[in-house]
Amino acid sequence: MDITVVEHNGINVKTVKQYLYGNTKKKDKVAKHKEKRKIMDCYAEGMGLNSICRVFKVGINSLQGWIKQEGKKFIQPDIKEEKFVSCDEMWTFVQKKKQKAWIWLCYSKMTKRILGVYIGDRGKYSSKKLIDQVPNMKIYCTDNWDAYNFGIKDSETREIGKRNTQDIERFNLRMRMVLARLQRKTIKFSKSWERLEYSVNLVINRYNHQLLSDA
């Protein structure tokens, strides 16, 4: 199939797009880099995408490919022994502030691990998606948001109050410090739901793994 190249003011538009965005063709293999492990450690500790690309001389497409590879799925810890959890939702946005996204998290009061993650709106079905990941807990500590009533069927297992959710709110603060796209006053933001999900999963998976390693 022939490709039509458009000229604009004497500039090859195809060449300009490749310079700005890299090769847009999908690749089956993820690029290799001798410092990949260090690069991913830096990203998980709060270093921005563009900063990493400048410091380590790595392409933005390669870096995003590694983030997708590591954060494609949330790795849930074993919840058999878990009984007491805190649940909370954290606000961010995708592309524009009117397109709100809520990151729902479930935090173990016993092991301090994140047991459940869901990204969606702030409605009752999102609440159910989170609670379904951590069923049959003895106590769910939440704020006064009504959507939790839809996910937590037994009202006797729910404790409402900010004093019960200080631990998970502190973790939310940690997430905002580590991921620039979650900070409230910044020019950095998620350009797609997928990229937001990959980044959140990556940071939480590494956080849970570190707790397990330190135990």
Least confident of 88-102, 113-127, 180-194: 180-194
Q: Give me the mean pLDDT over the 16-27 stretch.
A: 47
Q: What Å distances lie between residue 126 and 80, 169, 171, 192, CA to CA? A: 23, 18, 20, 18
Using CA atoms, how far residue 71 sits from 7, 43, 206, in Å, is 39, 12, 10
Q: What is the pLDDT of residue 185?
A: 63
Q: With residue 139 as reference, give the H or E element that holds it.
A: strand 139-142
Q: Tell me the pLDDT band of 192, cut-offs 50, 70 and 90.
A: confident
**Between residues 181 and 156, which one has the greater pLDDT?**
156
Q: DSSP secondary structure string, 167-208?
A: HHHHHHHHHHHH-GGG-SS-S--BSSHHHHHHHHHHHHHHHH
Question: Lowest mean pLDDT: which of 69-83, 88-102, 135-149?
Answer: 88-102
Q: Which amino acid is residue 126, in one-letter code?
A: S
State residue 75's pLDDT score: 95
Mean pLDDT of 69-86: 95
88 has which bridge partners?
105
Residue type, 109: K
pLDDT in tens, 121-180: 999 999 999 999 999 999 999 999 999 999 999 999 999 998 889 999 999 999 988 887
Q: Binning pLDDT at 50, 70 and 90, where does residue 58 land?
A: very high
pLDDT bracket for residue 4 (50, 70, 90):
very low
Which two tokens mark 24? 């847009």
Cα angle 26, 29, 35; round to 5: 120
Confidence of residue 70 (pLDDT cuts 50, 70, 90): very high
Domain ranges of the chain: 7-71, 84-192
Q: Which residue has the tokens 């973790």?
A: 171
- In terms of average pLDDT, the best of 3-12, 19-28, 152-161 is 152-161
The region that residue 186 occupies, defined by phi over 0 for left and psi between -120 and 50 for alpha, beta otherwise, is beta
Residue 83 makes CB contacts below 8 A (sequence gap 6+) with: 110, 137, 138, 139
User: Looking at domain 84-192, which CATH architecture does it have?
Assistant: 2-Layer Sandwich (3.30)
Residue 159 backbone phi and psi in degrees, to 5: -115, 125
Strand 114-120 relative to strand 11-12, pairing: unpaired
Q: Give me the mean pLDDT over the 87-115 stretch.
A: 93
Pick from 13-27, 36-50, 157-171: least confident: 13-27
Query: What would you report as the CA-atom Rg of the chain, rounded to the nearest whole angstrom?
Result: 20
How far apart CA 166 and CA 177 sit, in angstroms, is: 17
Per-residue pLDDT band at 33 (split at 50, 70, 90): confident
Say what the pTM is: 0.80
